[in-house]
Structure 1
Amino acid sequence: MNFEWGVFWEYLFRPSSVYLHGLWLTLSISVISQGFGTLLGLFIALARISKHHVLQVPARIFVWGFRGTPLLVQIVFIYTGLAAANIFRFEDINLGFAVLPGNMQAGILALTLNEAAYMAEIIRAGINSVAIGQTEASKSLGMTYGLYMRRIILPQAARVVVPPLGNEFNSMLKNTTLLSVIGVPELLLATQMVTSVTFRVFELYMVVACYYLTLTTLWGFVQQRLETRFGDPATAASRKLGQKGYRRLFGFGQIGEPR
C-alpha cells in the first residue's frame, strides 16, 4: 500500500473549501436536529405520562415506530418514499440569505423525528425520577399542571437528562453521515467528492475519521462541563474538568471508581 503522508497532512491541516462546507453542514445540521428533537421529545414525553389515552397512545406508537426502525430507512423513506408515493415532495426553499435544499430539509426532519423518540424516553425517565411526593405537594399548594411541571418537576428532571442528552448529541454528530445517501454534502459526502478527483481514498478517509474524532472529543469536554454545571450535585465533584477528565473521556479507570 502506497500511503501518501503529504496528502494526509495537507487535507488534515489545510482542508479545501469542500471539506469546510461539509464540516459546517455537519455541525449546523447536528445542532438544529438535536434542538428540535429535544423540544419535540419533551412534548412526546409529557404525552407519554399523560392520563389521557388520546395523547398517550399516539406518543407510544411514535416512540415504538422510530426506535424500532433503522435511521437510514427513515431517511430514505421520508425523502424518497414520500415523493415516490406522491404524498409529499421536498422542494428547495429560498430563505433570502440562503437556499435550503429539499434533501437537507428531509434529512433534518428525519434526524429530528428519530432523536425525538429517544429523547422522549430519556425525558420521561427524568420526570419519573422525581419523587411523587413533590407532585402531590405542588397540587396541594394549588399549582396548575403547567406551573408545577415548569417550576418543580422539569428543573429536577434536567439533572438526570443532561448526561444522556450529551451522549445523544455525540451520536447525532456521527449520524449525519447517513444523510450522504440522499445527497446532502456533509463531511462524509464531501470526502467522497474529493476522493473522486484525487483518487487518494485511504488518506482522505483517514482525514475525515480524524475530523469526526476531533469533533466528538471536543464535545466530550463540553459535556463534562455541562454535567458539572447542571448534573446531579452528588456526583458533580467527580466530573469537574481537570479532575480525571481525560480518564473519563477515554474510558480509563477501574470498575466502581468515580469518573
Structure 2
Amino acid sequence: AAALSPEIITWFKKLDLEILEVYGMTENLAWSHTTEEGDQQIGWVGTPNDGVECRIGEGGEILVRSLGNMKGYYKQPEKTAEDLTEDGWLRTGDVGEIDGKGRLRITGRVKEIFKTEKGKYVAPAPIENRLSTMPGLELACVIGEGMGQPVALLNITPEEQERLSKGSEKEHFTKELEKLLARVNEVLDPHERMTTLIVCKDAWSVENNLITPTLKLKRNEIEKRYADDIAQWSKTRGVVWEA
C-alpha cells in the first residue's frame, strides 16, 4: 500500500469519518505503528505498537525492532545482513521523523531522495501524493537531482486524454494545473518548490518499462526517458506539454 494523501483524509474528516493511519511491512508482520482513536495527526502514522521499538538511524532511515521482525530472507544471507542489524533492528528503507509524542511521520524512501544543486535533500513521494489528488492526473514523478529546483513529470488518465483533444478543454486543464502547482508549492519548503509541471504525452505502463506491475514508478527509467528534454522544459515556469 502507498501513503494516503492528506487531502483524501481531510475530505473524509468533513464527513465525520476519522481515518487512522497505520504503518508496517511484510518483514515485521505489519506490526509497527498505529494511530490511536482521537490522536489523529494527518500525515503521521501513529506511535509504536506494544513491544515495538522505533528510532531514526543514519540518513534519517526508520529502524524498528520487535518480536514480529523476520529472522531473515530465505537463502539470502547477504540481503538479510543488508536489512537487519546484528542487534535485531530492521532497516525499513523509509525515511522519517518522530515527534515529541513518539508519533512517526514517513517522508520518503532512502533510495528515492535526491539532492538539488543547492545541497538540499528532497523526498519526492509526499509531493507526488499531493499532485495526484487532482482529477485527471494518474501519476506524478518529481525529479531534481543536481537541478536548481525540482520539476514534476505528469501522466494523465486515458479518459482525460480523450477529453483534452478539444482545444478549449486543454486550456482550462492547463489553468487548473497552474493552480495546483501554486497550491502544492505553498505548503512546501523553499528548496522543495517546483518550477514546472510537465505533462507527458505517452502513458507510463508496464509494457514500456516505466512502472512496475504494482503501479510503482520506475524513477530511473522515467528520468532516462526524458533526460534529453528536462533541462529545456525546466526553463519554463508553469505548465509544459510534451510535444
* Same fold by TM-score greater than 0.5: no
Decide which structure has the larger Cα Rg and report it: 1
Determine which structure has greater relative contact order: mean sequence separation of CA pairs < 8 Å that are 6+ residues apart, divided by chain length.
1
TM-score norm. by structure 1 comes to 0.26
TM-score norm. by structure 2 comes to 0.27
- Give the structure with the higher percent helix: 1
